Structure 1
C-alpha cells in the first residue's frame, strides 16, 4: 500500500483523482449544472485513464510478450471505448462518430507529431524501426478506405441509400475486425521478430502486483463508465452554453482526454530517444480505433443503441481521417525524424481543430 501511495505522490496527474468523487457528488446535488458537470467529467477522466494505463501495463508485464502485447492492444483505448458506448446508448451518434474520427486523427497527427517535436528538441536526428510504423499506417489507410464506402453508397438514393449504407457498414465492421485480428497475429506471432522494439509498451515505472492491477483495472473501468454517463448526458447542453458542437467535443476533447496517459508515455519515450515506442503507441492506437473500436461500436449499436449505427461519417471527417492516414504513411516511410517534421504534423491537426471549432452546435445532427 505504501508503494502505491508513493507512486501517486510521484505522479502529479493522479492528484486529479479528487475530481472523480467531486463530479459524482455534483451530479447528485445539481444534476442540471450541465456545464460544470461537463468540465468536471473531463478532469475526472484524465487520472482514471492514467490509472487504467498503468494497471494494463502492470498486468501485461506479468503475462509475457505475446499475451501482454495483445492485452495492451485490446485495452489501450478502453477509455475512449467506454465513453463511446455511453454516447451510443444515449443515441449521441454525432459524438460517437466524431470521437472515432478524432481519435484516429489525434493519435496519428498530434500524438505522433508532438513526440517528434519533444524528441527532436533534445536529439538532433532520431531514427526508429519502420516495420511497426508501416504496418500500423497500412492498416490505418485500409480502414480509412473502408470508411469512404458507406458515404458513396448513401448518395445513390435517399430511400435505399441509408439501408444499403447500414448493411455495408455491418459487413465492413466484421471485415475490419478480421483485419485487426490478422494484424495482431502477424505482429505478435508469425513475424514478431520484426517488431521487437515496438510490439508492446514498456515504461520505466515499477509494476503493481498482479492482483492489485486486476482490482484497479476493474474499479477504474466502473468509475470511467459512471463518469462517461455524466459526460454524455451533459455534453449537449454544455456545448450549447459554451458555443461548441458535439463534433468538436468528440473530435478534439474526447480523444485528448482519453489518450492523456498514452500521450504521457509516448512523449516521455521520445525525449529518451526511444522513438520506436512513441511511433508504436501513436499509430498502434490510431489503427486500433479504426479496426477494432469503430466496428465494435457498429455491432454494439444493434444491441444497446436506439437504432443501428452505420459508418457513414460526414464528408469533412472522412477527408480529415484520409489526410491523416496518407500523411502518416508518407512520414513513416522515412524511418527518421527531426523536430520540424513534428511541427508540421501538429499544425495539420490544429487546422482540423480550428475548422471544427467554427462549426455551430447541431450542424451535423440532422444528417446523421
Structure 2
C-alpha cells in the first residue's frame, strides 16, 4: 500500500478522487441536476484514469507491452460496455451504435494521433512493433466488412424485413467474437514472438508491486463503471442544453469520456518512449470494441434491451469507421512516427467531429 499512498500524497491530480463519492451522492440527492452530474462524473473519471494509468504501466513492466496493452484495452472497454449497456437498457439504440462506431474512430484516430503527437514532441523519432499494428488493422477491416454487410443490404432493400436483419446481425456477431478470440490466440500464444515489443529500461518512478497494481486496476475499474452510469444518465439532457445531436453525443462525447482511462495510459507511455504500449492500447481497444464489445451488445440486447439490436449503422458511421481503418493502416505501415503524423490523425478526427456537429445524420 505504501507506493499507492505515496502517489496519492504527491500527485495533485489524484486529489480529485474526492469527487467520486461526491458524484455518487449527488446522483442520489439531485437526480435531475443533469448538467451538474455530467460535470462531476467527467471530473471524477479523470483521477480514476490516472490511477489506471500508473497501475497498467506497472503491470506492463512485468508482462510486456503486448499483454499490458491488451489488459488496459480490456479494462478500459469495460467502461465502454457499462456506458453502452445502460443506454441499451433504456432502448437508446442510436446512442449505443454511435458510441460503438465513435469508440472505434476515437481510438484509431484521436488516441493514436495524440500519442504520436505527445511522444513526438519529446522524442524526435519513435518506433513501434509493425506486426501488432498490422494485426489490429486486419481485425478492424474484418469488423468494417461485417458492419457494411447489413447496412448495404438494407440500403439496397434486399431483405424483406427487420427479422432477417437481426438474424444476420446475430450470425455476424458470433463470427466477429470468434475472429477476435482467434486473433488473441495468434498474437498471445502461437506467434507470440512476432508481437513482442522492444525491451525498455526502467525510467522515472519504480513500478508498483504486481499485486497492488492488479487490485488498483480492479477497484478503479469498478468506480469508473459506477461513475459512467451517472455520466450516461446525464449526458443526453446536457447535450440538449448545448445543442448536440444524439449521433454527436454517442460518436464523440461518450466515446471520448469512455476512453479516458485508456488515453491516460497511452499518452503517458508515448511520452516515456514506449510506443508499443500506446499503439497496442489504441488499436487494440478499437479492434476489441469492433469485434467483441459491439457483438456482445447485440447479443445482450436480446436479454436486457426492450427489443433486439442489429448491426445496421447509418451510412456515415460505416464510412467513417472504414476511412479511420484505412488511415490507421497506412500511417502505421512504416513502424515509425513523429509529431506531425499525430497531427494528421487528429485532423482527420476533427473533420469527422465537425461534420457530425454541423450536419447531424438521420439515425435510423
Instruction: Give TM-score scaled by structure 2 length.
Output: 0.89
1:192 is aligned to 2:192: yes
Deviation at 1:311, TM superposition (A): 1.1
Aligned to 1:320: 320
Query: Is residue 159–residue 165 contact of structure 2 (8 Å, CA) maintained in 1?
Result: no
Between the aligned partners of 1:120 and 1:219, the Cα distance in structure 2 is: 33
TM-align CA RMSD: 2.9
Deviation at 1:129, TM superposition (A): 2.0
Q: Which whole-Å deviations, capped at 9, do the CAs of 1:26-76 have from their partners, x for residues lacking one?
A: 222221111211222222223334434555665677779998776445334
Aligned to 1:108: 108
When structure 1 is superposed on structure 2, of 247-256 and 154-163 the one drifting more is 154-163
1:80 is aligned to 2:87: no
For residues 225-264 of structure 1, what are the structure 2 equivalents within 5 Å? 225-264=225-264
Deviation at 1:112, TM superposition (A): 1.2
When structure 1 is superposed on structure 2, of 272-281 and 9-18 the one drifting more is 9-18
Between the aligned partners of 2:338 and 2:329, the Cα distance in structure 1 is: 17
For residues 61-72 of structure 1, what are the structure 2 equivalents within 5 Å? 71-72=71-72
Aligned to 2:132: 132
Give the 3 Å change call, closer, same or farther, for CA 45–87 of structure 1 in structure 2: farther
Instruction: Give TM-score scaled by structure 1 length.
Output: 0.88
1:21 is aligned to 2:10: no
For residues 91-170 of structure 1, what are the structure 2 equivalents within 5 Å? 91-157=91-157, 160-170=160-170
Between the aligned partners of 1:61 and 1:340, the Cα distance in structure 2 is: 29
When structure 1 is superposed on structure 2, of 326-335 and 157-166 the one drifting more is 157-166
Aligned to 1:270: 270
When structure 1 is superposed on structure 2, of 247-256 and 136-145 the one drifting more is 247-256
Give the 3 Å change call, closer, same or farther, for CA 154–187 of structure 1 in structure 2: same
Between the aligned partners of 1:151 and 1:343, the Cα distance in structure 2 is: 31
Give the 3 Å change call, closer, same or farther, for CA 15–150 of structure 1 in structure 2: farther
Q: Which whole-Å deviations, capped at 9, do the CAs of 1:102-122 have from their partners, x for residues lacking one?
A: 111111111111222222223
Query: Is residue 57–residue 72 contact of structure 1 (8 Å, CA) maintained in 2?
Result: no
Give the 3 Å change call, closer, same or farther, for CA 255–141 of structure 1 in structure 2: same
Aligned to 1:9: 9
The alignment partner of 2:349 has SS state of: helix
The alignment partner of 1:124 has SS state of: coil
Query: Is residue 177–residue 295 contact of structure 2 (8 Å, CA) maintained in 1?
Result: yes
Deviation at 1:18, TM superposition (A): 2.1
When structure 1 is superposed on structure 2, of 287-296 and 212-221 the one drifting more is 212-221
When structure 1 is superposed on structure 2, of 303-312 and 231-240 the one drifting more is 231-240
Between the aligned partners of 1:236 and 1:210, the Cα distance in structure 2 is: 39
Aligned to 1:89: 89
The alignment partner of 1:333 has SS state of: helix
Between the aligned partners of 1:232 and 1:326, the Cα distance in structure 2 is: 30
1:171 is aligned to 2:171: yes
Query: Is residue 133–residue 332 contact of structure 1 (8 Å, CA) maintained in 2?
Result: yes
The alignment partner of 2:334 has SS state of: coil
Query: Is residue 70–residue 281 contact of structure 2 (8 Å, CA) maintained in 1?
Result: no
Query: Is residue 53–residue 265 contact of structure 2 (8 Å, CA) maintained in 1?
Result: no
The alignment partner of 1:229 has SS state of: helix
Stretches of structure 1 that go unaligned for 5 or more consecutive residues are none
Count of paired positions: 363
Q: Which whole-Å deviations, capped at 9, do the CAs of 1:76-104 have from their partners, x for residues lacking one?
A: 42211111111111212122111111111
1:342 is aligned to 2:342: yes
Q: Which whole-Å deviations, capped at 9, do the CAs of 1:312-355 have from their partners, x for residues lacking one?
A: 11111111110000111111112222222221111000111111
Give the 3 Å change call, closer, same or farther, for CA 36–130 of structure 1 in structure 2: same
